[in-house]
Amino acid sequence: MAEKYKRADGRDYDETRKMEAKVGVVKRADGSAIFSFGKSQALACVYGPRQFHPQHLQNPEKGVLRCYYDMTSFSVPERKRPGPNRRASEISFVTSRALETVIPLENYPNSVIDCYILILQADASTRCAGINAAALALASAGIPMKEMVSAVSVGKIGGAIVADISKDEEDYEIVKDGKTIKSATDIPFAILSRSEKISLLQLDGRIKPEDLKEAIAMAKKVCRKINEIQKKALKKIKEE
Ligand code: CDP
């Protein structure tokens, strides 16, 4: 029988790295938060809603949520060139889509809500840390949200379905036909708190339909825990 996959840091399959959430960290912003999964740490700042400029971009029927994701140059071991790149544009796009679904944008005609997500240190799953921070920042900016949004990556590594993938896990390799190949599958999810609808599902790697079902179930279970941490962080700021 094949040996059961052991996670390098000893975590259970459905266990995340240590999570930390703090709201109200940037006073000039209308809403802000920090969220981390272990060494992956995201800061999110929300400004708005305010009138959308330039005027020709305004939509009289609904407002727009714009999320900008970026990493600081020294958030990763190999210095990242400053400024936007294709990866950041893609993550900004999917983050906006994952979050806008819970905001009644029809209440904000001709307006824009900007959400800046900065990765302060990265050890994989940063888009999920960013979504968790952004959802908190939006809520703390007083923007009504139909549901909370929580995000986690779930992967298939060494034959096991595991939650909250670290960089080491993402780089997991096996030897096949004498060749060393990357074999991790990484699926970032965002789940809405009440309906448990999925507002983000990306797939990096390959997965069988039955394993995907297991991954979805695990993402929902873990996102319930993340949601509890988000609720606690929001409650704390109200009490302060
Ligand atoms: O961070 P996330 O898993 O959402 O996105 P990814 O594109 O799958 O990137 C995985 C990880 O690769 C990041 O979290 C970083 O740890 C690392 N990375 C890096 O070292 N240098 C980059 N320029 C981009 C990513």
The pLDDT score that the predictor gives to residue 237 is 79
The pLDDT score that the predictor gives to residue 1 is 55
Against a cut of 0.95, is the pTM above it?
Answer: yes
Do 69 and 98 meet the contact criterion of CB atoms below 8 Å apart? no
**129 CA closest ligand 1 atom index:** 4
**124 CA closest ligand 1 atom index:** 14
Instruction: Give the tens place of pLDDT for each residue, 122-160.
Output: 999 999 999 999 999 999 999 999 999 999 999 999 999
Residue among 69, 187, 67 nearest 120 (CA)? 69
Query: What stretches in the chain show pLDDT beneath 70?
Result: 1-2
Distance, first Cα to last Cα, the chain: 55
**188 CA closest ligand 1 atom index:** 4
The residue contributing the CA closest to ligand 1 atom 6 is: 124
Q: What is the CATH number of domain 2-239?
A: 3.30.230.70
Distance 149 CA to ligand 1 centre (A): 21
